[in-house]
Structure 1
Amino acid sequence: MSTTPLSPTDRTTLHRNRTRARTERSALYEILDDGLICHLGVVVDGSPRVIPTGYGRIDDTLYVHGSTGAASLRAAPSQEICVTVTHLDGIVLARSLFHHSVNYRSAVVYGVPRTVTDPDEKLAGLRAVTERLAPGQWKTARRPTPKEMAATSVLALSLEEASVKMRQGGPLDDDEDYALDVWAGVLPVHRTFGEPVPDPRLRPGIPVPPHIADRA
């Protein structure tokens, strides 16, 4: 796994609120490894599309998958794309509406993806996507059949060009506004999992596996 800093480019260098930028590659890994869904930005037939999708990471490669019939996945390897992952950590409530904000962690990755054709890498990419959403599920559920693999497209995107931006902390009001009788502070936002809901067609006697129950 690479420990080198993020390499700045024109489009990954922040020109506003530069103090929110992070240049450590470890910060990029942490954001990606804490997320569940990314947004894939791609141009299809001259029109921009932003597609929410699952993803997985292996070292410095990001993997996304979908149907071989998906227009976005067919178009992506021929162009520059953009993948984003964002975590909302809090609503920042200031004394003035102008200074309201949010605490967040975000990553933006640029590059030209490639369609994964090597069977072993394709399987590894699908495992990374599965384990990102449900750690432990790859060892529990049935593996994809050759027909299912043929119907699935996997894209690989290098993490070479990426930007990381964060905001943490309370509101930053104008000096004169601190005298206002208006509550100010942060409303934290947390991600939680509920109790697992069994499939109505689940055969009796099959318990919730520990790797799922432990997340509830």
Structure 2
Amino acid sequence: MSTPAPLSDTPRTRLGRARERGRADRAELHAILDAGRICHLGVPTEGAPMVIPTGYGRLGDTLYLHGSTGARSLRLGAATEVCVTVTHLDGIVLARSIFHHSINYRSAVVYGRLRVVTEPEEKLAGLRAVSESLAPGRWDVTRPPDRRELAATAVLALPLAEASVKVRQGPPVDDEADHALDVWAGVLPVHQVFGEPVPDPLLRADIPFPPEMIA
């Protein structure tokens, strides 16, 4: 198996501050993207930026986004350079001083130009990637999109050629003089968990919830 290429080193992806938190391993980029369900798509508009939360999925080194064909953000994004970000909050870092409070996190930033997917096979593959990212296994058990639904759905592809990864882990980094303060310091972990499934009121009573959704 070939080794994935390292992350790009461009003026946009090169870290200016806290460079020690940067990661050059493309596998870490993939892991951060695969662990997320929502990204934030930043596009330029007339006079002001627009940042839209949207679902996504990854296939290899391509990120797929989807939305309505009438969505202004997707139309604008397909016409210019965009920025996509994904962030995981892993912990609140409580220091002995306010200045040194921080967060533990994993973040990915991707720059590039969106490509509108028109080839039917790739469009379905991109939609499946988005669906499997949000709800694994549902694509194979639900009704597939029909021609009308496909026509109303835009799928855009973003290459992962220009991307950066930044990670902060570990305890607070207090000034040595503050270690003697009577103030608790450490990390408050943050976890995202599923709640109890709430069935559709119109669901038949004999249809169970698929346990693999929260496995």
Report the TM-score, using the length of structure 2 for normalisation.
0.97
Match of 1:18 in 2: 19
CA contact (8 A) 1:56 1:128 kept: yes
Give yes or no for contact 1:38–1:52 (8 Å, CA) kept in 2: yes
**1-side partners of 2:193 and 2:205: how far apart?**
27
SS in 2 for 1:46: coil
For residues 123 and 16 of structure 2, the distance between their equivalents in structure 1, rounded to whole angstroms, comes to: 38
1:81–1:110 Cα contact (<8 Å) kept: yes
Which ranges of 4 or more aligned residues in structure 1 deviate by more than 3 Å? none
Number of equivalenced pairs: 214
| Amino acid in the other structure paired with 2:39 | C
CA distance in 1, matches of 2:129, 2:38: 13
Match of 1:137, SS? coil
**Could you say which residue in structure 1 is the equivalent of 2:182?**
181
Contact 1:2–1:60 (CA under 8 A) maintained in structure 2: no
The residue number in structure 1 matching 2:114 is 113
RMSD: 1.1
Q: Which amino acid aligns with 1:129?
A: V
Report the Cα distance in structure 1 between the residues aligned to 2:3 and 2:192, rounded to whole angstroms. Answer: 28
* Counterpart residue number, 1:190: 191
Q: Distance in 1 between matches of 2:150 and 2:78?
A: 19
**Superposition pairs of residues 30-41 of structure 1, within 5 angstroms:** 30-41=31-42
C-alpha separation in 2, matches of 1:122 and 1:189: 35
Amino acid in structure 2 at the alignment position of 1:146: R
C-alpha separation in 2, matches of 1:14 and 1:67? 34
**Displacement after TM superposition at 1:33 (Å):** 0.5
Q: Identity rate of aligned residues, in percent?
A: 67
CA distance in 1, matches of 2:163, 2:3: 13
- Per-residue Cα deviation, 1:169-201 (whole angstroms, up to 9, x for no partner): 000000100010000000000111112110001
Distance, in Å, in 2 between the alignment partners of 1:33 and 1:2 is 19
TM-superposed CA distance for 1:45, in Å, is 3.0
Shift of 1:207: 1.0
Equivalent residue number for residue 148 of structure 1: 149
Give, as a single letter, the amino acid of the residue that structure 2 aligns with 1:72. S
Structure 1: segments with no counterpart, 5+ residues: none
Tell me the SS of whatever aligns to 1:28.
helix
Q: How far apart in 1 are the matches of 2:124 and 2:46?
A: 30
Q: 1:117 to 1:46 in 2, by over 3 A?
A: farther
Q: CA deviation at 1:44?
A: 2.6
Superposed, 1:1-216 pairs within 5 Å as: 3-212=4-213, 214-215=214-215
